[in-house]
Chains A and B, each alone.
Chain A
Amino acid sequence: MTENSDSCKYVIRQISVFSENKPGRLSAIAKGLEEADVNIYAFSIAESKGFGVVRLIVDKSTAALKKLADIGFMVSYTDVIGIKMEDRPGGLYETASILGDAGINIEYAYAYSGRNGAVLIIRVDDVTSAVKKLLAAGKELIKAEECL
């Protein structure tokens, strides 16, 4: 197995959804996913004046993407990394400095409470290198297949 395909295991498919800041958009997303029998694990919204991007980590990403596109949302996949957070102070700072030292830029991050403790989702400009650096530094990453 090559190093590359190895790091692939740790790349999670996030679903990114464009949403106008109008009432009812979020509930339309939630309703659509429920109809498609998709479970939402993590969820974050980045908002600006007039519009926002909803980011979702789900159990069935293909079904979720199809359903949301079918009901008229603009959607795309985004590769992200999930890091198990140790329950001690400084964990987030450590992760940021590992990547920072390697010159990898964190575009955004959000946390959620997973089955086995807190998970930090990060979006970086170079996913493969980030996975390698984090593993080398002894961080525990979420595998795509176990996806939570």
Chain B
Amino acid sequence: MPVDELRKLQYKLMKTLVYRLYSFSPFYHDRMKDAGVHPDDIRSLADVKKLPFMYKKDLRDNYPNKMFTASTDELVRYHVSSGTTGKPTVVGYTQKDLDVWTESLARSLTSCGIGRGDVMQVSYGYGLFTGGLGLHYGAEKVGATVVPASVGSTEKQITLIQDLNVTAIACTPSYLNHISDVAEKMGVSIKNDTSLRVAVLGAEPWTAGMRDRIQERLGIRAHNIFGTSEISGPMFTDCAEQKGIHIWGDIAYTEVIDSETGENLPDGESGELVVTVLQKEAMPMIRYRVGDITSLDTSVCPCGCTHPRISRLTGRVDDMLIIRGINVFPSQVEHCLMQIPEISGQNYMIIVTRDGSLDSMRVQVELRKEFFSDKIDDLLEIRKKVAYELKNALNVSVDVELTAPDSLPRFEGKAKRVIDRRVL
């Protein structure tokens, strides 16, 4: 599609969406009023910058469904991801929302050369997380045969890759590294003993260097996938050229802004990603501040495609951590610890490391004096309880370390409670 036609289509879809939200979303109606913007003020794509932003916090404040613009009987699915504090983020989908999501991913997979004749192992978690089911339907749509392996049982996954002649895999880059490590221990070389030729990797930050290492080691093409549940789920990948992730312009309108000023940044400049999903029914997001740091490239891709691209994500504007593909906010950890009387909730440290290829998260907490016992079993019980509560709140296994009161660092000003020792 020529660029000007694509932009015309984007404008038309944007205009419809803005009218829709102004009319049916009390939340966004008020936000537009507060910003002094009326749908009639949006006369071109250049006017989009007048529209107010939406934030992850808005989803939490409107938990679980106050942002929905579809009625419950129109919804066909929910996905749930972790929020910044105790409350998770709930996303509802109409059938059309699922169709658009699947269509987007199908186009992306096609651009990576995945289709009929491929056997794709989906090793993202199935369930509330969007990774598993998203890739599942996307791969089916392009005619690939899906192996819904989900996460875990790595040795069995390797056996399936061999026995079912798996040609494509979707998972986090660190899980693929783990699979390769385990395969080596089993005496299996992914490069020489399997049919694997392509991987679709994401849900956590990874570098071009890591991509090159994976491609070299496994003898495959490793593509980068992007998406987050607030915009539906994983939707966009880079193409065979591997020169940035194509954000299909008829599905989403992409901006990169300066986080501080909110101003749009020109092509190539690094800033915060802002996405408007143009065709969403159940929970439309206008100018959603995704929080990932990237840059925009609106030039025509060497593959001939005119849809804009974003560069590999380089970090976050907030303190969100991604542990084994799961989003974890330090505020969630704090919120959870505050509920446990045996420990001090205010003072804690989060230490993230990568053991081999898997992330591991350790939380240091201070035991309260009243709960100190000379019996080691009592203390182990407290540690077990904290680990259980954190696992419950974060969906990630956490190693808990009990420490004495006042032994953890105190901070003047902004607390630095996270030590991330992972080397990407």
Contacts and interface: CB of A to CB of B under 8 A. Distances in A.
- Same complex: yes
Interface of A: 14, 16, 18-20, 46-48, 50-53, 55, 72-76, 78, 107-108, 123
Given A53-B375, A75-B372, A123-B374, 17 more contacts: A14-B374, A16-B372, A16-B373, A18-B372, A18-B404, A20-B401, A20-B403, A47-B376, A48-B376, A51-B402, A51-B403, A72-B407, A73-B404, A74-B372, A74-B405, A78-B374, A108-B375
A94 B376 CA distance: 25
7 contacts: A20-B401, A48-B380, A51-B379, A74-B367, A74-B405, A76-B373, A123-B374
Contacts of A55: 374
Nearest to B372: A74
Interface string B348-385: 00000000000000000001010011111001100000
B406 interface: yes
Nearest to A25: B404
By size class, the interface of chain B is 10 to 19
Contact of B402 (A50, A72, A76): A50
Contacts of A72: 404, 406-407
Contacts of A76: 372-374
B374 A16 contact: yes
B376 A20 contact: no
Interface string B383-420: 00000000000000000011111110000000000000
A123 B367 CA distance: 22
Contacts of A18: 367, 372, 379, 404
Contacts of B380: 48
A106 to B, nearest CB: 11
B369 to A, nearest CB: 6
Contacts of B374: 14, 16, 53, 55, 76, 78, 123
A92 to B, nearest CB: 20
Given A18-B367, A74-B367, A74-B369, A53 B407 contact: no
Most buried by B among A47, A52, A74, A108: A74
A16 B401 CA distance: 19
Contact of A74 (B375, B376, B401, B404): B404
A17 to B, nearest CB: 9
A52 B367 contact: no
A36 to B, nearest CB: 19
A108 B377 CA distance: 11
Contacts of B367: 18, 74
Nearest to A15: B374
Given A20-B407, A72-B407, A46 B402 contact: no
Nearest to B402: A51
A20 B404 contact: yes
Nearest to B400: A50
B403 A53 contact: no
Given A18-B367, A74-B367, A74-B369, A53 B404 contact: no
Contacts of A107: 375
A53 B379 contact: yes
Contact of A53 (B369, B376, B405, B406): B376
A107 B374 CA distance: 10
A14 B375 CA distance: 12
Interface string B11-27: 00000000000000000
Nearest to A14: B374
B388 to A, nearest CB: 16
Contacts of A20: 401, 403-404, 407
A142 B376 CA distance: 25
A52 B403 contact: no
Contacts of B372: 16, 18, 74-76
B361 to A, nearest CB: 15
Contacts of B407: 20, 72
B245 to A, nearest CB: 41
Contacts of B406: 72
Contacts of B402: 50-51
B364 to A, nearest CB: 9
Contacts of A50: 401-402
Nearest to A72: B406
